[in-house]
Structure 1
Amino acid sequence: MEYEDEPIPGLPGRLPPGEDILWQGTPDWRGVARGVFHTRLVAAWFVFVASLAFLAGGTGLKGAGITLAVAVLGLAILGVLARAQAMSTIYTLTNKRVVLRFGVALPKCVNVPLSLVGKADVKPAGNGLVDVSLTPTVRFPLAYLQMWPHVRPWKFGSPQPMLRAVPDAFLPLLADALAKADPARATGVNPDAANAGAMLGAAA
């Protein structure tokens, strides 16, 4: 595999002189399950269908039970997919760039220079987690499907790399790195925010 032997986990090679790792981590798989695979919506849908089966008569309790059993199986599969996605992903923040290494079957490693990040949009992901999308100042070279799920939803024409389900403690580190890389373009993140909801430019 292309990234089976990494000199530094999550990075395609050793860092050049003058570049240092500021933070490295993986997505929380529960956050990936909620944000990428929408497990809460799936669970709510199955509960609704089971309720209809129970109230409508006919199969009644048996039909509701079968529906809920299928729901448990389906949610378990989505949980396995979310865990695999999270375990195959490493995000790295250095003083020069953000590196996203991801992919279960076909690993990819994407570099996003901090000097080319116009702003960072933040969306709360629950339980102290946030999704952080990076808006490049130039056209991003990879397509939406090549980056999925580490890309901001619905931005098909202008893909924006996204770090999924990372701790909100990552935000001040990113803000500081952006400010040092290019102060004129680092105003998209508020390093003093107490939580993601108070961040400037919160994602929709």
Structure 2
Amino acid sequence: MSGHDEHEPVWGLPSAPPPGEEILWQGRPDWKRFAVSALKIRWVALYLGVVVVAKIAFGLNRGEALEGLGQMLALFGLCLGFVAWLAWLHARATVYTITNRRVVMRVGVAINLACNLPFEQLAAADLALRDEDDGDIALRIKPPARVRRFIFWPHLKGGHFLSPRPALKAIREPERVARLLADAVSRWAEANDAIEVTRAAGEPSEAPAEPRPELTSLPRGATS
């Protein structure tokens, strides 16, 4: 893929993967779909359209000339252009990476950060499809780990203000990526179960095993 930062040893990662870690998938949002799903450009356009219609209606009702309508339309066009430009910037600066041990999200425009989400911190993943080539994968994080909204925004699943969920937004082939993530987490969990069994051979374990991360699929057309 293009867009490699010369300061990165590996595209999208803050450092080269340690021995035994393998990059399974890398991608970034489609900026047009990102504008719709993450920055809600359609809702912005709808709001601005309502304002324009209201101004026209009030002007006609009062018999007044529609002075300033052209300037208002130009301003609203600039607003929509700014949202689209912001979506393009975010998509260009973003790299999502899935390895056999973690998910890494390189996000941020003004300040670009690589956020590591090890598999042991994942409780589950939710797949939301808009169509076959557009969807999100939201990650549920186990407590006490916390997600800082101001770092991950707008790469978040909507509607979870108290417990933000990082999300791989507007990615292509979301079902394939979700299956890849589920398989990687499953293999990681099995390998770690084997390690724990080897370490505790012959010793009774009183602590219940932690539940493995699960992948759930939301209905097609669901948004986040």
- Give 2:31's aligned residue: 29
Match of 1:75 in 2: 80
Q: Answer yes or no: is the 8 Å Cα contact 1:50–1:63 preserved in 2.
A: no
Name the CA shift for 1:157/1:45 in 2 (closer, same or farther; >3 Å).
Answer: closer
Once the two structures are overlaid, the 10-residue window that deviates more, 90-99 or 44-53, is 44-53
Number of aligned residue pairs: give it.
194
* Matches for 1:4-15 after TM superposition, within 5 Å: 5-15=7-17
Q: Percent identity?
A: 34
Deviation at 1:74, TM superposition (A): 0.8
Note the C-alpha offset of 1:90.
0.3
2:185 to 156, 174, 178: 178
Q: Which amino acid aligns with 1:69?
A: A
**Alignment-mate amino acid for residue 153 of structure 1:** G
Give the Å deviation of 1:126: 4.9
Indicate conservation of the 8 Å contact 2:147/2:165, yes or no.
no
Counterpart contact for 1:51–1:64, Cα < 8 Å: no
Residues 24 and 74 from structure 1, CA distance in 2 versus in 1: closer, same or farther, beyond 3 angstroms?
A: same
Aligned with 1:188: secondary structure?
strand
Change beyond 3 A, Cα 1:156–1:44: closer
CA distance in 1, matches of 2:158, 2:188: 27
Check the 8 A contact 1:140/1:158 in 2, yes or no. no
CA distance in 1, matches of 2:28, 2:144: 26
Segment of structure 1 superposing worse, 124-133 or 166-175:
124-133
For 2:103 and 2:146, the matched residues in 1 are separated by 15
Q: TM-score w.r.t. structure 1 length?
A: 0.83
Summarize deviations over 1:88-124 as a string: whole Å, max 9, x none. 1100001111000111111111111123211101223
Contact 1:91 1:101 in 2 (8 A): yes
Partner of 2:54, secondary structure, is helix
Letter in 2 for 1:119: A
Choose which of 118, 122, 126 in structure 2 pairs with 1:121. 126
CA contact (8 A) 2:127 2:215 kept: no
Match of 1:38 in 2: 40
Contact 1:120 1:132 in 2 (8 A): yes
Unaligned runs of 5+ in 2: 191-210
| Superposition CA RMSD, Å | 2.5
Superposed counterparts of 1:1-204, under 5 Å: 5-56=7-58, 57=60, 58-60=64-66, 63-126=68-131, 128-167=133-172, 168=174, 169-182=176-189, 184-189=211-216, 197=219
Tell me, yes or no, if the aligned pair for 1:144 and 1:159 is still in contact at 8 Å: yes
Deviates more, 1:96-105 or 1:177-186: 177-186
CA distance in 1, matches of 2:178, 2:215: 11
Larger Rg: 2
Task: Name the SS for the 2:74 alignment partner.
Answer: helix
